Chain A
Amino acid sequence: MSLKSNLHSLKEKYKGTKMAPAFNALHTFLYTPNDTTHNGTHIKVADDLKRTMNTVILAMLPCLIFGMFNAGYQHNLAVGDIQAVTSGFFSSEFWTLDNFMIGFWKIIPLVIVSYGVGLGVEFLFAVIKNHEVEEGYLVTGMLVPLIVPIDIPLWMLAIAVIFGVVIGKEVFGGTGMNILNPALTIRAFLFFAYPTWMSGDKVWVEGAVQRTNDIAAGANLDAISGETILGSLAQGKEIAYSVSDMFLGFIPGSIGETSTLLIILGGLFLIFTKIGSWRIMLSSALGAIVMGLIFNQVVSAGIITESSKFYGLMSTPFWEHLIIGGFAFGVVFMATDPVTASQTNKGKWYYGFFIGFISILIRVFNPAYPEGVMLAILLMNVFAPTIDHYIIQGNIKQRLKRVKVKTA
């Protein structure tokens, strides 16, 4: 008997039992099911939710791989083993096996914990509540390792993932029903529960925390550190990176968020495949630009001077905001989550615009949490249904007006 028919008879055996959802999840991972249409349309498009989610993961893969190289690069750079990149995106200092292996061994455990714990919770809920395991976590599980600092302890990640999946998603009924983006719920949990592991100048470079502890224990080593650009700006420090470093991604930061170039490529891929909403991506960028311009005007009008603690971020040229921090990553991969975003096309414009606008606002005015995009997306997740409500009311009013015109 072939694998196909073996699995088929196993499926029949598990049918109706508690284990059916768990088995089906694994089975459908290997084979698309033999389900046929009943009444209604007798044919269906080739796409299913797995394919949709898979496309998003494909779009993130370059960021993941770049993140592995960058983790090693930042470490080796900090300890002084290598020189900073000099020749653009394909600099030989960056793309070395040594860099990659450091990042690989650091990041793969994060990916495994993220998927293992997250899918474990999903399977558990599917079995208890007797529904199919849904694909939403495939994307969340890949997003999570990309939006945390490299040195985050695995147990923290595990706890955060459990919190995010249960509170962020399952209590609402699973994929498609949640209000907040689960990946950002996980990150927000980490951010507020373990702030020292989510900000500062130690967590962004592999080994920095360990090194600090070693020094405290009496080891004769040089301390290593790396501050994100947002962190430096919030504290009014000079930034040591060029614009091209920021755009190409040779900077410290959460694992997948640094390379704006690759994020843009991923975003274009999502737009081309019609999986991601170009409306949200474009309007978010517009929102950020508008807010950034306003702040730049405030600075050039002399209202805020160098003595102000807001000066650093407020005087940052508006376009630089788009390529520093997690803004690009959040907008492309998380603001566009169809479940938590605005669901009407018109609403997406407002939703995106406010994400961009509020991101920069939070960045500038809240130096303690310079990463504004996370909070901006979560905030707009909450407001998305309200935006949709008003858009749909417009349609309803038009319909009512049609009657009035007639009876008038």
Chain B
Amino acid sequence: MSKDILIKKGLDIKLKGEAEKTLEKAILSNFYTLRPEDFHGLTPKLISKVGSIINAGDPVFYDKSNENIKFVSPVSGEVIEINRGEKRKILSVKIQADKTQTYKDYGSVNPDTANAEAIKARLLESGCWAFIKQRPYDVIANPNKSPKAIFISGYATAPLAADLDFTLKGKERELQAAVTALGKLTSGKVHVAIGKSSTSPFAGLSGITLHKVSGPHPSGNVGTLINKIDPVNKGEVVWTVNAQDLVIIGELLLTGKFNAERIVALVGSSIEKPRYFVAKLGCEVATIIYDKGIPQDANVRIISGNVLSGKHIKPDGYLDYYSNVITVIPEGDDYELFGWTKPVFNKVSTSRALTFSWLNPKKEYELDTNTNGEHRAFVTTGNYEEVFPLDIYPMQILKACMYKDLDEMEALGMYEVAPEDFALTEFICVSKQPHQDIIRKGLDLMLKEIGE
């Protein structure tokens, strides 16, 4: 049964630098990097060593707590560096790519006829399992637990998000294979959200429950979809997969090859010509951001992901495993005279306290990374609720996380949330509290104390 979902509470943050719908091939990156930190909570065990020659799709490391979960190389080449931090924690594995790429052949699987066990085994060995996340805890899914449903959002509403209708165009075959396969892993349904007036490639797929959503961000967040369709109760598990990763899963099943290619949007007000690229995950962002992008010495923030939940990376950094956006915005490391009292026209605000963004809601803003004020205790109330559509008390759950009351966290709905659900409340927070970080730490604490 499909259901239309109208989200009323939320906020569309309109920023300058939306990607033009043209596609370019990124200059091939020489080096690719896998970072265990992209996979939250993972303790990696290395399979490859420095000097190992590997194919694209060959495992590089596995999950210490479940050795079936493999993480594979996006390219063929040589492992040239394993970067370790304190206590020999693995920070990154750097791979030098071959000029001509070779792929490990896992053999094709027909998702229509294969059974659940075969599909699961294939996803695990081929590195595709990493794309499947679970709630509670927002970590890579535990393959031993069957989810009550699987949720996919085919509608991106975050600021400057890549338009999934554009990036997934023509990938219907791969998407169908992936959702059919995933559908066998759950006793429930595969729920997919698409925009109400969109031309989503998901619209024609079979074996899914389609939901047309409308309204401001976070209407396209998978967390919003879960909350409105089938919230996670204690003891239950749901899985989520990013829409763009279904393409990689689908291609693996159909061809047996792990093709790490993904369409990435380069966006943000600092970019000269925002547009889309074909790039592989783990690639150097430098190959993308400098051509008609930013000058070499620009004082900018490069983000792998969107401005609300993405990761801060250096110019020599890498596209992370789950992102399909690279955002570049100006750094805001400057003082502003009487910034707290003068009328503000060039920044976004949800209040009208001498802030005038309410006057023209269509305007695209050029925001920088300044916090616009200092960190404070929670003071104002009621404003989070205006942008938070989940049936959860946002400030109360944040406070429960801060004072680490596990019972209260559980009672208030901690099993249902992921950090990104609190991105908007963090954005509008007058006290500049790090909401997503608070939720992440709360989830980690629960995972540690209560477990799966």
User: A residues within 8 Å of B by Cβ?
Assistant: 4, 7-8, 24, 28-52, 54-55, 132, 134-136, 173-177, 272-275, 277, 279, 338-339, 341, 343-345, 348, 388, 392, 395-396, 398-400, 402-403, 406
Contact = CB atoms under 8 A, between A and B. Distances in A.
A41 B428 CA distance: 10
Top 10 nearest A-B pairs by Cβ distance? Answer: A48-B373, A176-B377, A32-B339, A46-B347, A50-B340, A31-B335, A55-B353, A343-B381, A43-B367, A36-B369
Interface in B331-389: 331-341, 344, 347-355, 357, 367-383, 385
A50 B344 CA distance: 14
Contacts, number: 230
B413 interface: yes
A406 B188 CA distance: 14
Contacts of B344: 46
B392 interface: yes
Interface residues of B, number: 77
Name which of A33, A50, A54, A174 has the most chain B CB atoms within 10 A of its CB: A33
Given A175-B379, A275-B351, A43 B373 contact: no
A346 to B, nearest CB: 10
Name which of B427, B435, B436 has the most chain A CB atoms within 10 A of its CB: B427
Nearest to A279: B382
Nearest to B399: A343
Contacts of B375: 35, 132
Name which of B13, B367, B432 has the most chain A CB atoms within 10 A of its CB: B432
A296 B421 CA distance: 51
Contact of B312 (A33, A38, A177): A38
Given A49-B376, A51-B354, A52-B353, A36 B233 contact: no
B358 to A, nearest CB: 9
B373 A51 contact: yes
A50 B353 contact: no
Given A39-B311, A41-B307, A48 B368 contact: no
A392 B376 contact: no
B40 interface: no
A48 B374 contact: yes
Contacts of A33: 335, 371, 373-374
B445 interface: no
Contacts of A345: 382, 385
A274 B159 CA distance: 23
A399 B416 CA distance: 11
A47 B349 contact: yes
Name which of A49, A132, A177 has the most chain B CB atoms within 10 A of its CB: A49
B161 to A, nearest CB: 14
Contacts of B287: none
A345 B393 CA distance: 10
Contacts of A40: 309, 423, 426, 434-437
Nearest to A56: B353
Interface string B429-451: 11110111100000000000000
A51 B307 contact: no
A389 to B, nearest CB: 10
A402 B231 contact: yes
A399 B340 contact: no
Given A35-B374, A343-B395, A51 B340 contact: yes
Contact of A41 (B308, B338, B379): B308
Contact of A36 (B234, B333, B347, B383): B333
Contacts of A175: 376-377, 379
Contacts of A398: 391
Given A28-B340, A41-B308, 11 more contacts: A31-B337, A37-B371, A40-B434, A41-B423, A42-B310, A43-B368, A50-B373, A51-B354, A54-B353, A344-B381, A398-B391
28 contacts: A32-B338, A33-B374, A34-B333, A34-B335, A35-B371, A36-B371, A42-B301, A42-B307, A42-B312, A42-B327, A42-B329, A43-B15, A43-B308, A44-B372, A44-B373, A45-B372, A46-B344, A46-B355, A52-B430, A132-B374, A175-B379, A176-B378, A176-B431, A273-B354, A274-B383, A275-B380, A396-B412, A399-B413
A28 B371 CA distance: 13
B293 to A, nearest CB: 17
B247 interface: no
B199 interface: no
Nearest to A402: B233
A132 B375 CA distance: 9
A216 B121 CA distance: 100
B372 A47 contact: yes
B438 to A, nearest CB: 9
B305 to A, nearest CB: 9
Given A36-B371, A51-B353, A51-B354, A176 B233 contact: no
